[in-house]
Structure 1
Amino acid sequence: MKISSGRPAARLTLVGLAVAALVTGAGALVVHTTVASAASAGVEDEGANCAVPALPDAGSLPTSAKLPDPFKKLDGSRITAKSDWTCQRELIKKLSEKFVYGEKPAKPQSVTGTVSRTSITVNVSNAGKSSSFSASVDAPSGNGPFPAVVVLGGFGADTAAIKAAGAAVINYDPYAVGKEGTPRTNKQGAFYSIYGANSPTGLLMAWAWGVSRIIDVLEQSGGTVLRGDATGVTGCSRFGKGAFVIGAFDQRIQLTMPIESGSGGVPIFRGIPGEGAQSLSSAYGEQPWLGDAFGSFTGSPARLPVDTHEMVAMVAPRGLFIMDNPHIVNLGPKSASVAALGGAEVYRALGAGDNITYWSDIQNGTHCANRPEWSAPLQQNIQKYLIKTGNSPGSFHISSKAAGNLAEWRDWTTPTLSGSTSSPSTSISPSTSPSTSTSPSTSPSTSTSPSRSPSTSTSGGCTATASVNQWTGGFVATIRVTAGAAGISGWTVAGTLPSGATITSAWNANRSGDSGAVQFTNVQYNGAVPAGQYTEFGFQGTGTGTGLTTGCTAR
């Protein structure tokens, strides 16, 4: 089955910069600039000047079934301050480029282009080679300047809702930059015209490079039509993979919204084989989406030194709204929920837990359909991150059909990082002075950030340990049932939910009760637990899970 179809931001000023602009008769603003003279509303890669240690070779990588610790440096130490994240993110970026996607080259030597209410043109030259491509623009009524959402491929995205929220739609044809249907040794498109048809960089990263060049032109245009400091990106299926990579690898993207991205997109690589999603070898071989180097990991993802929860984390603390489909196993929705939960731990550590939303609790299972469940949060995210008139908190809505369990995939804990997040103005604030009513707080709060609070209760031959991932309005609880000195053949966990909390779904257990006093019993396959060993189950709820109490009885 084939399902795919450490520097602060510079303000947008012209301070002695050699930028030439000409307004044409068609009303388009023509801009030309070079690397040395570009005015910028943001920074594509804030960690470009970080000293990243030598990366390991593929042959020396250890095998680990657990997700890599996103807070761990190559020397084994862990970051301790929020200001450390800039260079830690750069390390993750370099590992992702080397082993997963291929390298994203730095900004070319020259970028020229035009911006109008109907189109954008991009002309690029570098090292004696050049290429061009264009995108159409569909702007809302009014005079602008407008924030804009780049829509990949022209399907799956709710463009009517985007425009209704006040943002323009930039219709981007990724195939103009990296064409599908070509062999890895003869890749085609604007990217490969400059960097070579046999470049080891995959299409997803080439598409990301193309959007970065569009943003270059938007920045250079002076913001008279489209704002260069308020850009989002979205797409579905293969274009959801692209949207995910685009947002992860350009920190000028204020809002990233991948839809049903499937294997090679949001789902953790380590989880895909066990979930029954499109295999990694199939995703690698169907199209040259992933970098050439990934070919040696399709049968052994546990050797990868990175996984997609860290690409989720690369977006932090910027806005991220992941939309997923729990009805199609081939898309890997359970593995996607694990990636989102894992990445949310970095958001929380940075004090930006309000900035990530994951939503797979939907009724319609049709691939890439516009869904009513997503319409309101889509517009809320656009208003918050692009228009800067809202402050709706992020939330998790994980379908019981495809609920992953982060606890099964990690052996690391989330640290409490000191200080403030580095360069937050480039990530979550407008280029003008932020106000508390339109810019999310970077300080952690139990009422607005995901949190993980463990509690343990022992009785009757087993121990129940509860861990809670909390966000505004909801939570996911993971309960670990550990056998005592003797093995057990069954278990019952009784719990008391905090006032106002309600369970909406549960997995790996039978349950009675949705609020107040609740009870869980084992299902057929996880009742027998050997002495000293454990099994886990979980549930999702509304309200707050902090303060959940549990007790365990063996049968």
Structure 2
Amino acid sequence: MRLSLHRPWAWAVAALAATASLVLALLDPRADAAPALPLTDVRTVAASAVEDEGADCPVGGTPAGSTSQLPDPFTRIDGTGVTSKADWRCRRAEIRELAERTVYGQKPAKPTVTGTVSSTGITVDVSDQGRRATFSAKVELPSGSGPFPAVIVIGGLGADTATIKAAGAAVISFDPLAVGREGTARNNKQGAFYTLYGNTSSTGLLMAWSWGVSRIIDVVQQSGGTVLRGDSLGVTGCSRYGKGAFVAGAFDQRIALTMPVESGTGGAPILRGVNGESGAQPLSSAYGEQPWLGDAFTSYTGNPAGLPVDTHQMIGMIAPRGLFVMENPHVDWLAARSGSVAALGGAEIYKALGAQNAISYWSDVQDGTHCAARSEWRTPMQQSINAFLKNSGSGPGVFRVAPSKAGSLSNWRSWTTPTLADGGTSGGTTTGTTSGTTGGTTTGGTTSGTTTGTTTGTTTGTTAGTTSGSTGGTPGAGCSAAHRTVNSWNGGHQGEVTVRNTGTTALSGWSVGLTLGSGQTLTSVWNGVNTGSTGAVTVRNATWNGAVGAGASVTFGYTADGGTTAPAGLTCTAS
């Protein structure tokens, strides 16, 4: 007999002892027996082999009170801090519970799923608690021989399927309305999900669509990998389907690459920001337009400060797997400024887990057409597919923020990013390798990653400052630093510094000194580790990009508030 246990909402589960946690893990079908895939390379973080690695983690207690700031992703409900990468598994479980309870509604435990996979389609047959529902999806294969990685395209609107197939991945076209229909009342929801769990279920459509994606993955994994690879799956969608892609990636750790496009309110943008962002869709509108969000969210449409979570933490639920967020700054309704804050906040979690290059963000686009396939996104999308679905190369790790919609993370947080130790205890009953254990250490509150992506888009100015640094006592060593302003806006700018090895021997490390203008403050840094954020600042290499061959170069980027003046007095010191 198959046992099914839905997680209770009562916070009293915090009192359960470790033995009880083991019993819960054995009863919960989401605690699948298959272990997580091992992590062998920080550049290409493997997806999990199970839907939810933290299903066995006991979650309880009372969340902290109301705050207008973004909640600290590194502080547990009980007030203790996350100190190791392994701790993230059960901290993620806390965020998952809070997000389900307040924002999206519950994602039920894994039901009984059967189905078929062919070169043209997928059938899904789901049974739970004596009820049955079916739905299907279309498959388009790329050229070549399989089995192929695949990207699940929710809704079809705005997805660049040509680029996906050109990169060697199949397209699985999923109609989410078959699972959760729009245009229905909250007390009469329709579709396969609600056939199983009741038309008065408090779970919103976004979570229902996410559930549908998970059931497709079940079938692909069970198919034996003759057509599609069950360990190399991504998800994407645009507009409301971008919201669904974002939720799907957050709530299923088997998804190796999540690519939400122009998701707007209820998607990637921080919930605390959209009501105050000029022209953005208000929370009440997103809640009322369709039953996308869970019924419980009605309590927060006018009080987002009361939410115990926000979307930067949902981005953290995706970490350290691949994530490429694409936004449109030309349509105010889409809340791209709040989206940039969410991405910068989520990138801090990626940085803490040592997976800096696994997150990319791009809103600096020329075409303002909603859900257009854009040339600026093509190369980083291909790089993401290669890295996270084909295990070839590294993710783009690029942040290109539109100057007109550049948010400031420093205005939204009072917390800092800790240096998480390797190893440690993860809490609960471990059911496989924790996907957050990626090796390496990081320091401070900076975001880092590999910036081998494209540099197309709007750039303003090329303020140079090439200065050779000291050799650090190593014969033949030397480096230079050159700055360019990538974007600027009223009150801030985004810059990029290229560090070049000017010597005859390889560098093992580098540091760049620069002086910010009066009143300027660094708000984020990636591909480097900064000391100081005002005045004279030093940026050192991250643990993974200190080695620079003779004649080669690396780059780091940053955003700064307080003016558009480029930093002065650049120096480079080699080691």
Q: Please indicate, yes or no, whether the TM-score normalized by the shorter chain is above 0.5.
A: yes
Cα 1:49–1:425, aligned 2, differ >3 Å: closer, same or farther?
closer
Stretch moving more, 386-395 or 349-358: 386-395
1:18 maps to: none
Q: Is the 8 A contact 1:259 1:322 kept in 2?
A: yes
The answer for the alignment partner of 1:384 in structure 2 is: 387
Q: Which residue of 1 aligns with 2:44?
A: none
Deviations 1:125-179 (A, max 9, x none): 1111000000000011233001100001112111000001000000000000000
TM-score w.r.t. the length of structure 1 is: 0.76
Q: Deviations over 1:400-452 (max 9, x none)?
A: 11111101000111111111497996759xxxxxxxxxxx964236xxxxx65
Aligned equivalent of 1:73: 76
| In 1: Cα distance, 2:296 partner to 2:485 partner | 43
Question: Is residue 2:335 matched to residue 1:311?
Answer: no
Match for 2:403: what amino acid? Answer: S
More displaced stretch, 303-312 vs 76-85:
76-85
Within 5 A, what are the aligned runs for 1:38-117? 42-55=49-62, 62-108=65-111, 110-117=112-119
Report the counterpart of residue 404 of structure 1 in structure 2.
Answer: 407
CA gap of 1:165–1:68, structure 2 versus 1, over 3 A, is same
Task: Give the corresponding residue for 2:200.
Answer: 198
Identify the residue that residue 31 of structure 1 maps to in structure 2: none
What amino acid is aligned across from residue 34 of structure 2 in structure 1? A
1:186 to 176, 185, 188: 188
Contact 1:319/1:385 (8 A) holds in 2: yes
CA deviations 1:177-216 (Å, max 9, x no partner) are 0000000000000000000000000000000000100011
Partner in structure 2 of residue 253 of structure 1 = 255
Distance 1:187 1:55, change over 3 A: farther
8 Å contact from structure 2 (residues 448, 526) kept in 1: no
TM-score, with normalisation over the residues of structure 2? 0.73
Structure 1 residue corresponding to 2:137, chosen from 124, 128, 135: 135
Residue 150 of structure 2 aligns to which amino acid in structure 1? A
Q: 1:480 corresponds to which residue?
A: none
2:163 maps to a residue whose letter is A
Q: Which amino acid aligns with 1:312?
A: I
Contact in 2 for aligned 1:233/1:246 (Cα 8 Å): yes
Cα displacement string for residues 2-47 of structure 1 (whole angstroms, at most 9, x for unaligned residues): xxxx98983799xxxxxxxxxxxxxxxxxxxxxxxxxx98110000
CA displacement 1:230-264 (0-9 Å, x = unmatched): 10000000000000000000000000000000000
Alpha-carbon separation, structure 2, partners of 1:402 and 1:348:
23
Q: Percent identity?
A: 57
Aligned equivalent of 1:238: 240
42-51 vs 538-547, which moves further: 538-547
CA distance in 2, matches of 1:499, 1:83: 36
User: Structure 1 418/518 Cα, relative in aligned 2: closer, same or farther at 3 Å?
Assistant: closer
In the alignment, what sits opposite 2:488?
506
Shift of 1:512: 13
Distance 1:128 1:55 in 2: 35
Counterpart of 1:37 in structure 2 is none
Give secondary structure in 1 for the equivalent of 2:275. helix
Give the Å deviation of 1:393.
Answer: 4.0
Deviation at 1:546, TM superposition (A): 4.1
TM-superposed CA distance for 1:387, in Å, is 1.1
8 A contact 2:416–2:444 mirrored in 1: no
In structure 2, do the counterparts of structure 1 residues 317 and 41 end up closer, same or farther at CA, with 3 Å as the change threshold? closer
2:10 maps to 1:10: no
Q: One-letter code of the match for 1:501? A: H
Q: CA deviation at 1:541?
A: 8.8
Aligned partners of 1:542 and 1:128: how far apart in 2?
51
> Within 1, Cα distance between the matches of 2:230 and 2:451?
33
Which residue of 2 is the match for residue 169 of structure 1? Answer: 171
String of CA shifts for 1:470-514, please: whole Å, max 9, x gaps: 44349xxxxxxxxxxxxxxxxxxxx99982232222345378999
1:354 Cα deviation from its structure 2 partner = 1.3
Aligned-residue offset at 1:543:
8.0
Question: Any idea what the Cα deviations from partners look like across 1:497-545, whole Å, max 9, x if unmatched?
Answer: 98223222234537899989877467xxxxxxxxxxxxx6668899868
Instruction: Tell me how far apart the structure 2 counterparts of residues 519 and 168 of structure 1 sit (CA, whole Å).
Output: 47
Provide the rounded CA distance (Å) in 2 between the counterparts of 1:193 and 1:496. Answer: 65
Q: Within 1, Cα distance between the matches of 2:33 and 2:381?
A: 26
**1:394-543 alignment to 2 at 5 Å?**
394-420=397-423, 427=435, 442-444=439-441, 452=444, 469-473=447-451, 499-509=481-491, 520=517
SS in 2 for 1:258: strand
TM-superposition CA deviations, 1:270-313 (whole Å, max 9, x none): 11111121000000000000000000100000000000000000
Q: Is the Cα contact below 8 Å between 1:496 and 1:548 reproduced in 2? A: no
TM superposition outliers: structure 1 runs of 4+ over 3 Å? 6-9, 420-428, 468-474, 495-498, 506-522, 536-553
**Shift of the alpha carbon at 1:395?**
1.6
- Measured in 2, the distance between the counterparts of 1:11 and 1:83 equals 15
Q: Is the 8 A contact 1:501 1:544 kept in 2?
A: no
Q: Secondary structure at the match of 1:114?
A: strand
Q: Is the 8 A contact 2:141 2:169 kept in 1?
A: yes
Structure 1 52/541 Cα, relative in aligned 2: closer, same or farther at 3 Å?
closer
* Mapped partners of 2:79, 2:494: distance in 1: 44
Relative distance call for 1:324 and 1:161 in structure 2 (3 A) is: same
Distance 1:300 1:512 in 2: 32
Q: Distance in 1 between matches of 2:99 and 2:110?
A: 19
Deviations 1:310-341 (A, max 9, x none): 00000011000000111112111111111111
How far does the alpha carbon of each residue in 1:349-406 deviate from its partner, in whole angstroms, 9 at most, with x for none? 1111111001111111111000000001101100111111222341211111111110
Match of 1:340 among 326, 330, 343: 343
Does structure 1 retain, via aligned residues, the 8 Å contact 2:447–2:524?
no
The alignment partner of 2:216 has SS state of helix
Using the alignment, how far apart are the partners of 1:140 and 1:306 within structure 2?
39
SS, match of residue 219 in structure 1: helix
Q: Which runs of 5+ in 2 are unaligned?
A: 1-24, 26-30, 38-46, 453-464, 468-479, 498-512, 537-561, 563-575
- Please say if residues 394 and 450 of structure 2, whose CA atoms lie closer than 8 Å, have aligned partners that are also in contact: no
Counterpart-to-counterpart distance in 2, 1:544 and 1:551: 18
Q: Secondary structure at the match of 1:499?
A: strand
Contact 1:247-1:315 at 8 Å conserved across structures:
yes
* Contact 1:359–1:398 (CA under 8 A) maintained in structure 2: yes
Aligned residue for 1:458?
Answer: none
Which residue of 148, 153, 157 maps to 1:155?
157
- Higher mean Cα deviation, 134-143 or 187-196? 134-143
The answer to whether the Cα contact below 8 Å between 2:102 and 2:297 also exists between their aligned partners in 1 is yes
Residue type at the aligned position of 1:147? P
The equivalent residue for 1:354 is 357
Distance 1:195 1:253 in 2: 24
AA partner of residue 440 (structure 2): S
